[in-house]
Amino acid sequence: MALNLIMLGPPGAGKGTQAERFARTRGIPKISTGDILREAVHTGTDLGQRAKAVMDRGELVSDDIMIGVVEERLNRDDARSGFVLDGFPRTVPQAVALDRMLDGRDPLIVVDIRVPERELVRRLASRMICADCGANGAPGEIVCSHCGGQLVQRADDNVAVVLERLRIYNRQTKPLVDFYCTRSTFRSINGAQGTDSVAADLAAAIEAAGSSNGNLPGACA
């Protein structure tokens, strides 16, 4: 059975870190919308050219372009045995399109990583990233563990901007929880823990969701 997984959660919940760790452990691709958009632009596909034109104007890439880019990526052979989606879906229309893409494939498992707002603000306002490769720095790190570059604070990680980003998430992306939470393959976990504890809870939640066979209700709160 293929393991098709998406993780929901606000900025600072640790989705990217957990997605990369889980995908590496299970030997399935972590599919980041940022990475596949850049690849589409670089290779000059039709969708990539459309995305480049939008981004060059400083606008957000539309649902139809994002859906097309993700669908192309999920149709590759390496995603047939499963995948972890990072950054998609972000809207309910994208979630509806993802259901269509996966019609006839194994069920989609959805895990929502929940973290209190105060903790999210603390994390984001103190987060450091690599000035060279853009990787997030781990707590206590001085230099990037990926490339050795200098760690700096993101310009958009001051408290006021962080609060606005969380407001945008609650308005635009949180409705995805309502879309998915009635499904038997939906689970939520506590993200306000250490990385290892979150990873253990994530693995247990995925195992439980994958074995539910539609017999259990979701976890709407």
pLDDT in tens, 115-164: 998 899 888 877 778 888 877 776 667 788 889 888 887 665 678 888 88
pLDDT in tens, 80-129: 999 999 889 989 999 999 999 999 999 999 999 999 988 998 888 777 78
| One-letter amino acid for residue 164 of the chain | E
All structural domains of the chain: 3-116+172-210 (3.40.50.300)
Residues forming the active site: 15, 90, 127, 154, 165
Band the pLDDT of 193: cuts 50, 70, 90.
Answer: very high
Buried b vs exposed e over 115-128: b needs ≥16 C-beta within 10 Å? beeeebbebbbebb
Buried b vs exposed e over 13-31: b needs ≥16 C-beta within 10 Å? bbbbebbebbbeebebbbb
pTM over 0.75: yes
pLDDT of 213 above 70: no
pLDDT in tens, 155-179: 656 788 888 888 888 888 889 999 9
Q: State mean pLDDT over 1-25.
A: 91
C-alpha atoms less than 13 angstroms from C-alpha of 13 in its C-beta half-sphere? 24
CA atoms of 76 and 139, how far apart (whole Å): 36
